[in-house]
């Protein structure tokens, strides 16, 4: 039996988007990802599908093997029409990378770097945020609190480490 993907109908996109959101909330990002791919297959510029797709992929970053999807995520974020959203979802990507690294042994200093990159992206998004939308501020504050709670520090360059070892 040959396995063939089927196209969904254009008039089913709204329903499919609702299902993708629901599967994300049920912690089944792989299914949400698949639904978004079905939508993007027939409407490759659907902004809602691109956003849910980015979120579904970042939901999966806690799986070590999914770390290879970073380039795909960056390319997808670049397809977002809104400059605000490009900055905001770049922040989400970096924040989720940082949160993944916190859970890994010997990776806290790298987590700090990604949190700083996330904060920078959120600051850029904040400048462009729509009225009454403080999402970028909320995410930025969450990153700062995590840095403080985890006592994260910038990574020392290898030259700094050698100087410390010699003294």
Residue 165 has pLDDT above 60, yes or no: no
The C-alpha torsion from 78 through 85 and 30 to 116, rounded to 10°, is 90
Q: In terms of Cα–Cα distance, which of 153, 68, 85, 74 is closest to 115? A: 153
Average pLDDT for 137-163: 83
DSSP 13-64: HHHHHHHHHHHHHTT-HHHHHHHHHHHHHH-TT-HHHHHHHHHHHHHTTTSG
The pLDDT assigned to 108 comes to 85
Q: How many residues does the chain have?
A: 167
pLDDT band at 136 (very low <50, low <70, confident <90, very high): very high
The per-residue pLDDT for 68 is: 76
Percentage of residues in the chain with pLDDT exceeding 90?
Answer: 82
């Amino acid at each position: 039996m040959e396995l063939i993907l089927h196209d969904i109908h254009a008039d089913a996109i709204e329903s499919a988007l609702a299902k993708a959101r629901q599967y994300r909330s049920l912690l089944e990002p792989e299914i949400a990802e698949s639904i978004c791919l079905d939508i993007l297959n027939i409407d490759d510029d659907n902004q809602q599908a691109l956003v849910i797709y980015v979120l579904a992929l970042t939901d999966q970053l806690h799986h070590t093997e999914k770390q290879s999807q970073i380039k795909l995520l960056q390319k997808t974020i670049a397809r977002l029409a809104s400059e605000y959203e490009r900055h905001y979802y770049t922040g989400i990507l970096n924040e989720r990378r940082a949160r993944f690294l916190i859970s890994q042994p010997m990776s806290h200093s790298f987590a700090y770097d990604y949190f700083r990159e996330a904060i920078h992206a959120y600051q850029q998004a904040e400048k462009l945020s729509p009225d009454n939308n403080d999402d970028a501020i909320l995410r930025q504050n969450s990153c700062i609190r995590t840095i403080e709670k985890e006592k994260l520090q910038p990574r020392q360059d290898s030259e700094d480490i050698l100087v410390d070892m010699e003294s």
